[in-house]
Amino acid sequence: MDFLDKLVIPLSPEHITLLRYISMLILILFVPFISIILGGTVISLFYKKKGINEGNNNYIRFANNVIEIVTINKSIGIMLGIMPLITAILIFVQIFHNENLIVVSYLAGACAFVTLGLILIYTFRYSTAFNDIFTSIKNIKTDNPSLDNELTKFRNGSLKLSFKSGRLGILFLLIGLWLFISGLTLALFHPDWNDSSLFAVLFSWKVIARFITFLLTAGAFTGAALLFTFFYWDGGLNGFDEEFKKFISKFCINLTAITSIMIPFFLFINVVELPENILTSVVFNYLTVALLLVFLGYHFLYIMYKNSDAKYTLHLFVSILLATFAVIISDQTAIGQANAKEALLLKQNFEYVMQKINEANTPAVISGTDIYNNICSACHSFDHKVVGPPYIQTLPKYYGNVDKLVTFILNPTQNNPGYPPMPNPGLNQAQAKAVATYILQEVQKYK
């Protein structure tokens, strides 16, 4: 990771604050997206397998719709799934480069596994189109048994590859997110974990509790997002019969309810673990807002479950989304509090660097006195002859015209018979003006 140290720049307090806000923003983009990617892929994989085994085309179509909804397209996957992690690495490199911490290593590992996971999940997504083609023609027989066998083998191989890509994608994504949460937790509690091993960090209760909180949030957000997409966005998806629409609605409501009901408990555990110096009023207030929004989501879930109506899907989706945002802001604020020492070191380093830059850019003060004492006094005095004539004799013609004297100093000529010609002292314009000003002022004392 040494090459990342080359990217470190001095940070002012304003820069540190800006990085904190950028960190919040990228997590606000990353967490909801990666949550529905994880949850949606699990759902799609399960119902794809179930639909093929039972010959239920509704299940297969539901699985295909889910994976298409959550993955959107490859460009979005890069922008919301990979770029935020790279940005987080660069931010934490800036913040923690003064400390011997491995936060950046955890985030780098997370980025690698999440990237692999997303590649496999998008492979699963785009392979579904080929699988559907083979599934639609599986009962069609040709006059060539050898060709039929080859098509069957190709279909089975394609299905196996698709499912394998999906399962491995989920596995890599889980590992990457585990490392990601471990890195953020380490940034929060690093004074106690500086010398902890990888195993000790990954399997600490603090990391496990936060990872479970994320999984529950992912489940709740995925359920709410699917309800919003299937029953509200652009008029909802058509083509399913009413019975299957009820199945989708019930499944998504149950998923959201079961996962979200445990979120307050784990949020409470996470709060209890925070040191007093980190649990500020801002952190506490945002967690309170998150809990209120979760309870508001319960209210919408109850109405939808009781009335078997998806009317409040938008309200549910927004409440869960805003609750997620509030938890992210609370968590990032707590990390900022936990790393106040690093912020102070960065501020001191910035002030030191700026001082050095200012010193380097400040022109040196040119002393006419020093130039006279070091160069001119070897041949001149103010009131008596040395090698050259005394200044009281030669300078009166330059009174009030320092520039004329500067011209003479830079290019001396023979003006005083009986004295040797003055050699060029080798001064620049500024030095010549400094010494000319000094001797014109000083000679006034000898009148």
Count, residues in the chain: 447
Rounded Cα distance between 422 and 420, Å, is 6
Contact between 157 and 21 under an 8 Å Cβ cutoff? The reply is no
For residues 335 and 87, what is the distance between their CA atoms, to the nearest angstrom? Answer: 17
The pLDDT tens digits of the residues spanning 202-231 come to 888 999 999 999 999 999 999 999 999 988
Q: Tell me the domains of the chain and their CATH numbers.
A: 2-354 (no CATH), 368-446 (1.10.760.10)
Q: What contacts 301, CB < 8 A, 6 or more positions away?
A: 253, 256, 257, 260, 316
| 40 vs 210: CA distance, rounded Å | 21
pLDDT (0 to 100) of residue 24 = 92
Alpha carbon distance 335, 338 (integer Å)? 5
Residue 106 buriedness (CB in 10 A; 0-12 / 13-18 / 19+): buried
283's CB contacts (< 8 A; 6+ apart) are 274, 330, 333, 334, 337
Q: pTM to 2 decimals?
A: 0.75
Spans in the chain with pLDDT lower than 50 = none
Are 438 and 369 in contact by the 8 Å Cβ rule? The answer is: yes
For residue 164, give the 3-state DSSP assignment: helix
Q: Which amino acid, one-letter code, is at 250?
A: K
User: Is 396 in a helix, a strand, or coil?
Assistant: helix
CA distance 259 to 323: 14
Helix 313-338 to helix 242-260 angle (10° resolution) is 30
What are the CA-CA distances from residue 207 to residues 105, 110, 183, 258, 309 (Å)? 16, 14, 9, 22, 38
Q: Cα separation of 77 and 73, whole Å?
A: 6
Which among 268, 180, 266, 259 is positioned nearest to 222, based on CA atoms?
259
> What is the predicted pLDDT for the residue at 145?
65
CA distance 74 to 59: 24
Distance spanning both ends of the chain, measured CA to CA: 72
Q: 10 Å Cβ neighbour count for 180?
A: 25
What pLDDT score does 328 carry? 94
Q: How far apart are CA 347 and CA 333, in angstroms?
A: 18
Q: What is the pLDDT of residue 418?
A: 76
Cβ neighbour number for residue 230 with a 10 Å cutoff: 21
Pair 432, 394: CB distance under 8 Å: no
- Distance between CA 211 and CA 202 in Å, rounded? 10
Four-residue CA torsion sign, 179, 184, 189, 192:
positive
Record the tokens describing residue 141, joined without a space. 């027989």
